[in-house]
Amino acid sequence: MQTEVKGFMTGQPVSIEAESSALEALDLMIDHAIRHLPVVGPDRRLRGILSFDDLRAALPTPLSLRIPLAVEERWRVADITVGEVMTYAPVTIRHDAPLQEAATRMIEGRFGCLPVVDEDGRLDGILSETDLLHALATVLWAEHERSAPAPQTETLLRDLEREQDHLVQQLTHYEHLEQERTATRREIPLDLAEQGQGAEEGYLTEQLAELASRRLRAIEHALERAREGRRETCERCGGRISPRRIRALPGSTLCIRCSREAEAVR
Ligand SMILES: [Zn+2]
């Protein structure tokens, strides 16, 4: 994300010289549909800025940015030069300055644009309100793209980690049961019926433990893939695995289509 002035300024802007007539400046603004003209001297050093509002305030006739001045009005303003009506030594910005600095200067000074100059004061570009709006739109869209999928992934990871914790506890519990049973068997001789019941319980616990540890391995694998940014990538086709599928089967490494194909082969 480019957030320096140069990423959004207009380079090589149309400019004018202080000795030119204000009328010429007006025609340039109309031709290029712009409201500001940087005023440069020799070597393109910035001397001032001329805005359409400056012209409107200074010229003794109503002006429009859409319609050139009528012929009968032109002679009345022909003698006025740019230097007479421009703003001298305007506030400027460097092309490598952060965009927010430019925005702050424009807001505080109520400027419609900022001329961009190099270290020697030569005109580099111009940054207008429209350019700032463009920058804002770009930043907001980038933020939107970044934040939209994030909560989904985070929620999923949190759910998986919670289940992981739960499974670890469960497995520990099964282990304890198994240890207790072994210990009890050693201490108290059981009758045959009790032994049978114990064996059955033991078998069930074993099955549950096996299921839990299989699920735990799947979740660990899914978490590992998620942390490497591969959670949503199908291992076979490189396509996307839907979050819903991952939630239902956290160990999923294949997209729905590939897993159907794999099952069909089996
Ligand atoms: Zn696939």
Indicate the number of domains in the chain: 2
Around Cβ 13, how many Cβ atoms within 10 Å?
Answer: 21
pLDDT in tens, 169-213: 988 888 888 787 777 666 666 565 555 565 666 677 777 888 888
Q: Which of 4-8, 134-138, 146-150, 206-210 has the highest average model confidence (pLDDT)?
A: 4-8
Say which CATH number the domain at 255 has.
1.20.120.910
Q: Is pLDDT at 229 greater than 70 in this prediction?
A: yes
Give the 3-state secondary structure percentages of the chain, helix then strand then coil, rounded to 5: 60, 15, 25
Same domain, 130 and 29: yes
Residues 74 and 44 placed together within one structural domain of the fold: yes
For residues 162 and 256, state if they share a domain.
yes
Task: Out of 122, 147, 172, pick the residue that ends a domain.
Answer: 147
For residue 195, what pLDDT is reported? Answer: 59
> Which pLDDT value is given to residue 151?
45
* Span 85-90, average pLDDT: 92
Range of the domain at 260: 150-265
Distance 266 CA to ligand 1 centre (A): 16
Q: Which among 127, 117, 118 has a CA at the least distance from the CA of 35?
A: 127
**How many angstroms does the Cα of residue 252 sit away from the middle of ligand 1?**
10
The answer on 164 and 123 residing in a single domain is no
Same domain, 142 and 187: no
pLDDT at 41 over 90: yes
Last residue in a domain, options 127, 147, 167: 147
Distances (CA, A) of 132 to 38, 83, 127: 18, 28, 7
| Single-letter code of the amino acid located at 156 | L
The pLDDT value recorded for residue 77 is: 84
> 244 CA distance to ligand 1 centroid (A)?
15
Mean pLDDT over 75-99 rounds to 92
* 0.85 surpassed by pTM: no
How far, in Å, is the centroid of ligand 1 from the Cα of 160?
22
pLDDT of residue 118: 93
Better-scored residue on pLDDT, 191 or 64: 64
Clarify whether residues 18 and 140 are in a common domain.
yes
pLDDT tens for each residue of 232-253: 888 888 888 877 777 777 777 8
